[in-house]
């Protein structure tokens, strides 16, 4: 599969890129099509580590398992016939919704806390800088000769 990045001519052949074509038609990632096809064929989900290893083998060595090839062809055929409902939740059950609803109160609290921290930091650092200047000689370039 990685060779496709270097040989763009192969991208046009649907048979060589079944999983990618099915994922495009379903509007999900290739890994999700891989998961959907395994579940459809075997009736259960595979443990994540094993699924990742099989998907990695597909990506690096172009080893597409028969169940994934069959599922991808079926998705493509359904879409060609106009029977594919790509918005069906069945196809999106592995989607991860990472976006949380906006919480204005939490956001304002965070902004105020950061502003207070920065103000305290600036005040403390300026006080410490003034105290440290009292101990320094008035000369800024060497050799400094202290007359005391």
Measure Cα distances from 55 to 7, 35, 51, 95 in Å: 21, 9, 6, 17
Domain boundaries, the chain: 2-92
Q: pLDDT (tens digit, 9 = 90+) per residue, 39-95? A: 889 888 888 888 888 889 888 888 888 899 999 999 899 888 888 887 777 777 777
- Is the pTM above the cut of 0.85? no
Q: pLDDT (tens digit, 9 = 90+) per residue, 20-38? A: 888 888 888 888 888 999 9
List the structure tokens of 11. Answer: 């991208």
CA within 13 Å, CB half, 73: 9
Q: pLDDT (tens digit, 9 = 90+) per residue, 98-145? A: 556 778 898 899 999 999 999 999 999 888 877 766 666 566 666 766
List the structure tokens of 67. Answer: 């169940």
- The beta strands (E) that lie in the chain are given as none
Residue 10 · residue 17 · CB < 8 Å:
yes
């Amino acid at each position: 599969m990685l060779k496709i990045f270097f040989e763009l001519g192969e991208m046009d052949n649907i048979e060589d890129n079944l999983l990618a074509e099915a994922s495009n038609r379903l509007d999900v990632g290739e890994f999700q099509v891989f998961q959907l096809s395994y579940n459809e064929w075997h009736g259960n989900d595979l443990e994540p580590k094993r699924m990742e290893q099989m998907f990695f083998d597909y990506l690096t060595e172009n080893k597409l398992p028969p169940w994934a090839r069959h599922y991808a062809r079926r998705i493509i055929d359904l879409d060609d016939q106009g029977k594919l409902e790509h918005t069906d939740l069945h196809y999106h059950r592995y989607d991860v919704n990472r976006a949380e609803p906006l919480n204005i109160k939490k956001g304002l609290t965070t902004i105020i806390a950061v502003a207070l921290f920065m103000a305290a930091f600036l005040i403390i650092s300026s006080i410490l800088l003034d105290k440290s200047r009292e101990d320094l000689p008035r000369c800024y370039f060497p050799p400094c000769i202290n007359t005391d």
